[in-house]
Chain A
């Protein structure tokens, strides 16, 4: 993958990172200018992008099979929501609560999922998210159950910017959070820890023969992934001021996986691109006809899996490489 190779010449890396972050900020700014009436939707894209990034950490960087990632997203959403309902209103603190809850849920999920490999692991992950879903449903007195959790009223961001009706504050808060998380993850995937994870993905036995424990490393990644997903969930809770059962669902987990496959796993950019394309197209098409949307998802998935196994980001980097390679 193109991200591994430049490691040796990491001196050249940081300008590329800055360009990447600038591109994300620019894309966010463009979204703000072009779709000023859809800020709530753009914020949802950011919230889900954090979920897909967190999934990429597990699938793309560690090779862990999971269809239960939204359990971690939902843990963050509910924790932030419940904290807000109970009087914690500082948005930054709420995001931190989401990260913490997601991280703890991640540890738990890691402890369960790492007992198995491959298909059994996938089945466990589905059981895990269904269990979380049922728990959220049954504990209606604190979660609101199937009615959803209402009454989330975040205070102004940094004590200055109130959450307005148009979703402007939420959008910029989300964009800022995404940039921070993205910068941190770009660093993490190139740390010794990140290298070890890539190694585990390809050959855990080789990693062990190097004297590196596989399970503790993966557990750590589960916690990190959970924290990222949890922040996404908390952002969603703050922005929409409601948490529903759909935030801990098999469907959201599966959609996140589709987004990741579309964009290309094993690359942080792929996770972002997949999210934007999936949700953007869904937004447009399902407004016309929801049936068409499902058909389109199917066609897109088949096309990507058959013709672009490294996802849309892979297609883009290949195109750039070819263009550069031309005399």
Chain B
């Protein structure tokens, strides 16, 4: 199958710090790829480059055969290149239902209409309720985000992404900061993702990575140091070295 999404020789540096070094990667529909690497390896930066929050110094991003390197982040989202954030970015006074409704309205080109009542389109409300129920958020659908649990906020991040009907989904540590009692709900949400969607998952929890991914890409110092099957990754000396460099995660990999 031809690549739905391709990164070619992407590089980025901040001041003198090379955070992304000649990274190339591609995804086909249905892919489940985990991107792992120690803290500061440049994982989030790579997502920012790919989705257009940052401009690369060199290299290209292709989406559906088209070079999108110069497109704005907004334009990329509209094409179906969607991300979630490592640190939740939500509107504290809005409800989950309002977040998802606004997102669906955008997809239909109606998010900035003035002469329309928000939340009064039955079809949209139905779809929003459906997405929220898929993620187990029905009970809190009408509570302000500031009042719901962090784990539920993480699920809402995913709900918003799904409301965009993505073709490529980049999940930046969806379980970060979530108590371990709640990670199964996030994992279940990941397991239910549509099978024609290409997913790149950034995750520190190796158990989750093993269950989710068929392919693992290891980033260290901005560079891809390993690409291959999950079991091979655990045994690979370069991967061990990457993690031993920052021993915070060494125990989890070993």
Contact = CB atoms under 8 A, between A and B. Distances in A.
Interface of A: 1, 4-5, 7-10, 187-188, 190-196, 198-199, 202-203, 205-206, 208-213, 216-217, 220, 224
B111 A192 contact: yes
Interface in B115-154: 115-120, 141-142, 144
A198 B111 CA distance: 12
B117 A8 contact: no
Nearest to A11: B120
Interface of B: 51, 53, 73-74, 77-78, 82-83, 85, 89-95, 97-98, 102-103, 105-107, 110-120, 141-142, 144, 160, 164
What 4 A-B pairs are tightest by C-beta distance, nearest first?
A211-B77, A8-B142, A206-B89, A4-B93
Contact of A220 (B89, B107, B112, B117): B112
A195 B93 CA distance: 11
A198 to B, nearest CB: 7
A192 B112 CA distance: 5
Contacts of B117: 10, 187, 190-191
Secondary structure call for the A interface: helix
A191 B74 CA distance: 21
A7 B89 contact: no
Secondary structure call for the B interface: loop
Contacts of A192: 102, 105, 110-113, 116, 118
Given A196-B111, A208-B74, A191 B93 contact: no
Contact of B114 (A8, A188, A212, A213): A188
Contact of A209 (B77, B94, B112): B77
Nearest to B97: A8
B91 A211 contact: no
A190 B91 CA distance: 15
Contacts of A190: 117-118
B95 to A, nearest CB: 5
A202 B142 CA distance: 19
Contacts of B105: 192
A4 B107 contact: no
